[in-house]
Chains A and B, each alone.
Chain A
Amino acid sequence: MLKFPKSAALAVLGLTALATPSLADGDAGAGEKVFKKCAACHAVGDGAKHKVGPELNDVFGRTAGSAEGYKYSNAMSEAGQGGLVWDAETLSTYLAKPKDMIKGTKMAFAGLKKDDDIANVLAYLKTFSQETAAAPAAVEAGETPVETADAGAAVEAAPAAEMVVEKSQGAFGLGRKAMPDEIAAWDIDVRPDGTGLPEGRGTVAEGEPIFVENCAVCHGDFGEGAGRWPVLAGGQDTLRNDRPEKTIGSYWPYLSTVFDYVRRAMPFGNARSLSDDDVYALTAYLMYLNDIVDDEEFELSKENFTSVRLPNEANFIPDDRLSEPHYAKGIEPCMSDCKPGPVKITARAQVIDVTPEGEGDENSGGGID
């Protein structure tokens, strides 16, 4: 549906482009997509609660570090006490390079590189701020024609296939036959032998910017992991150590698992958003971070995928728990005089003091992975 001719829409764009950069440039619809990068840590909208970061309803006009119930960094609290209030200008500066503006902020996000992304995400956030609720509507109205012009063409090019319902031939005759397109939409799993790999390719060099933009916020620029997020690289030869580091390079048995998992579940909070080529490129980049390839021009593709072997593949063994001495069958457990003398306490939980109600929230050893 095209509300005005395309030339009129372009004229609107031309006018706004002349204006100084401001929220008026932002497209809330496009900003919603940009916000996916934020959504792993921030919630916005009805019922939004604090997550890793504070909820962002009514962030426009909010004093920095003031959202109730959220534990800010000292730096952010101090910025608010110093008079910092979030508006289009301050948020734009912050989102470009958070750590430059607030040294010591908890926000691990490196920043949005593109001015358009910043303008768009702010337009989107503004739709959740009451202060100027009327403004976003105007923004949307101005931008809508351009978007629909593109979308309209795409819809015409791909008419929905007709659904043919074939009954099940089984004993109960329940359910219906799955159609090839339906199976293709959901069956994206990849096995170590390469079964399920899609057509596609990507190089280490292509993977780097994709990683920096989508993955580094949690996994670190070099796969070293931020906070308790998974470490992806390094850790070679640590599996016998007191504190092993289990990464793709040091622990994972198969590269297919990397491809499969990234394609089905990453980036966290925006699954299924990467193209197959992106996933090949990311997988190649992760190989590079783990020193499995050292050539930045190395290209991973469906064709060469199964020739790659991860170093730890041979170290996985079947479940042999029942062969452990304590499970040896036929041993009746001891009932009396089982220990020579009085029993002594050798370890105490209160010494470690990491139980939640004890106010102790410092990190401790062990984990559930």
Chain B
Amino acid sequence: MVDITDPKRTKQAASRRDFLKAGLLGGAAVAASAGVARAAGDPLITEIQDWNRYLGEGVDVAPYGKPSEFEANVVRRNVPWLTADPVSSINFTPLHELDGIITPNGLCFERHHGGTAVINPADHRLMINGLVDTPLVFTMEDLKRFPRENRVYFLECAANGGMEWRGSQLNGCQFTHGMIHCVVYTGVPLRYLLEEAGVKTNGKWLLAEGADAAAMTRSIPMEKALDDCLVAFKMNGEALRPEQGYPLRLCVPGWEGNMWVKWLRRLEVGDEPWAQREETSKYTDLLANGKARRHTWVMDVKSVITSPSPQAPVTHGKGPLVITGLAWSGNGTIKRVDVTLDGGRTWQTARLDGPSLPKALHRFYLDINWDGSELLLQSRAIDDQGLVQPTKNELRAARGENSIYHNNGIQTWHVNNDGVVENVEVS
């Protein structure tokens, strides 16, 4: 092994560098005097580019790496008019810029009700109390001594698409569908923790509570808690991001995002639900007849074309065009996605590519040869339970326009002859 800190070697290298530098200067002088003709072709190829000549930054410049500066527009965005205050608000995942099924941690949409809590993991506690044999308190260190699992799940806000009930309104799939992300979680199955405390036989419900300034709470039926819920501390291999509940969050796969309590500090076992604010006044679905559905936990079968879309227009003209999008279902896997180019008169089955995991995003493609004519693009997902994604008008007929939540209607994008894309609805 060569020790690069060896002073003798450094000195040798320096003198060699001096020699080379002298040679380069000489060469440049010759080229300039000769007045060489410009080569024909793309100057990006025929001319030597800066990045090809000069050295880039070293390994110690960015101890935690960031995306390229040329990707600076790929960010979460807020819709300022939507909420009273950015502290209790939401931003949106830039789905139109992403591919595959995994959302990068820094682009996962945020929804919190009292701002991002900042908690040192050494100061975090998880309590289990209520109808248990032994109420327990865990530290983060305790939790990391239970057996762990890794699972890929989507997390969708129940209000995703909530602004579109009355008609197409926001021009971009980031805003119409961006309250969703999908990452691989590492965590402890919730049932291990509940078994450690010993759930009493009348313990039928679980209240999950966050440590943030909203002290977020939701009631979860015990059957779900013991089935596939996780208490997670990692996402995509690294610690949860602060805005995603660092150091600990609940995963409630396939169910509405509000239940995935962040900054999870307490689990209470009870015999009835608690009727908390977020399961009575909010996250209940008002119907046209004045009744309201509650406990609408499962996120329905749904899909959207992410490109082309209003923020991702077709810029290359006629010819090969990749149509791609995402599909998901809180019931399980996606069995099939159909795509129409003519607003729903004829459909063709798209190609699913990448892993097909239950309660995770699925990526689909339809590769076409675009003739430059107008398109009315839609996608329609079918899940492994055989449930078919409905149209927006079917949903309105069944529920009215004031449900806010659980809008999984088929999205239409209009592509004009120039490749400009708009959010529309069709007959």
Residues of A within 8 A of B (CB): 40-41, 51-52, 168-172, 174-178, 182-183, 186-187, 189-193, 195, 218, 227-230, 239-240, 242, 244, 246, 248, 251-254, 256-257, 260-261, 264-265, 268-269, 271, 315-321, 324-327, 329-331, 333-339, 342-350, 352-358, 361-369
Which single residue of chain A is at the shortest CB-CB distance from B407?
A: A366
From known contacts A183-B135, A257-B276, A343-B376, infer whether A333 and B388 are also in contact, taking CB-CB under 8 Å.
Answer: yes
Q: Find chain A residues with CB under 8 A from B159 CB.
A: 368-369
Q: Find chain A residues with CB under 8 A from B197 CB.
A: 168, 170
Q: Which of A174, A191, A362 is within 8 Å of B275, CB to CB?
A: A191
Using C-beta atoms within 8 Å of the partner chain, give the interface range for chain B: 35 or more
Q: Which of A51, A176, A324, A327 is within 8 Å of B137, CB to CB?
A: A176
Q: Find chain A residues with CB under 8 A from B142 CB.
A: 174-175
Which 8 residue pairs across A and B have the least CB separation, nearest first? A343-B343, A170-B196, A349-B423, A228-B84, A326-B390, A368-B159, A178-B135, A347-B425
From known contacts A251-B281, A268-B114, infer whether A346 and B427 are also in contact, taking CB-CB under 8 Å.
Answer: yes
From known contacts A239-B286, A256-B275, infer whether A186 and B426 are also in contact, taking CB-CB under 8 Å.
Answer: no
A-contact 0/1 string along B28-55, CB 8 Å cutoff: 0000000000000000000000000000
Q: Find chain A residues with CB under 8 A from B82 CB.
A: 228, 367-368
30 intermolecular pairs with C-beta atoms under 8 Å apart? A41-B85, A51-B86, A170-B195, A189-B207, A190-B274, A240-B290, A253-B280, A254-B275, A254-B280, A268-B114, A271-B114, A315-B290, A316-B294, A319-B297, A326-B391, A326-B398, A327-B390, A333-B380, A338-B346, A345-B427, A346-B424, A349-B168, A352-B167, A354-B81, A356-B175, A364-B81, A368-B83, A368-B179, A369-B159, A369-B404
In the bound assembly, the distance between CA atoms of A352 and B423 in angstroms comes to 11
Q: Find chain A residues with CB under 8 A from B136 CB.
A: 168, 170, 175-178
- A325 CB to closest chain B CB (Å) equals 7
A-contact 0/1 string along B385-410, CB 8 Å cutoff: 01110110011011101101010000
Q: Find chain B residues with CB under 8 A from A269 CB.
A: 87, 114, 213
Q: Find chain A residues with CB under 8 A from B105 CB.
A: none
A191 touches B274 (CB 8 A): yes
Q: Which of B63-71, B72-80, B312-320, B363-371 contacts A (4 or more CB under 8 A)?
A: B72-80
Q: Find chain A residues with CB under 8 A from B80 CB.
A: 356, 361
- Tell me, yes or no, whether B295 is within 8 Å of chain A by CB: yes
Q: A178-B129, A345-B376, A353-B171 are in contact. List 8 more A-B contacts (CB 8 A).
A: A171-B196, A186-B127, A256-B275, A268-B87, A329-B387, A349-B169, A366-B404, A368-B404
A-contact 0/1 string along B282-312, CB 8 Å cutoff: 1010101111111111101000000000100
From known contacts A271-B215, A368-B83, infer whether A326 and B293 are also in contact, taking CB-CB under 8 Å.
Answer: no
- B13 CB to closest chain A CB (Å) equals 44
B346 touches A333 (CB 8 A): no
B137 touches A182 (CB 8 A): yes
A178 touches B137 (CB 8 A): yes
Q: Find chain A residues with CB under 8 A from B406 CB.
A: 321
- B378 CB to closest chain A CB (Å) equals 10
B390 touches A52 (CB 8 A): no
Which single residue of chain A is at the shortest CB-CB distance from B172?
A: A355
B276 touches A172 (CB 8 A): no
From known contacts A170-B198, A364-B169, infer whether A326 and B275 are also in contact, taking CB-CB under 8 Å.
Answer: no
In the bound assembly, the distance between CA atoms of A361 and B402 in angstroms comes to 22
Q: Find chain A residues with CB under 8 A from B180 CB.
A: none
A257 touches B157 (CB 8 A): no
Beta-carbon contacts under 8 Å, B128-168 to A: 128-130, 133-139, 142-143, 145-146, 157, 159, 162-168
In the bound assembly, the distance between CA atoms of A353 and B401 in angstroms comes to 20
In the bound assembly, the distance between CA atoms of A269 and B399 in angstroms comes to 36
B146 touches A174 (CB 8 A): yes
In the bound assembly, the distance between CA atoms of A319 and B293 in angstroms comes to 5
- Tell me, yes or no, whether B96 is within 8 Å of chain A by CB: no
Q: Which of B1-9, B235-243, B265-273, B353-361 contacts A (4 or more CB under 8 A)?
A: B265-273
From known contacts A178-B137, A240-B289, A368-B157, infer whether A252 and B280 are also in contact, taking CB-CB under 8 Å.
Answer: yes
- A41 CB to closest chain B CB (Å) equals 8
- B83 CB to closest chain A CB (Å) equals 6
Q: Which of A324, A326, A329, A361 is within 8 Å of B81, CB to CB?
A: A361
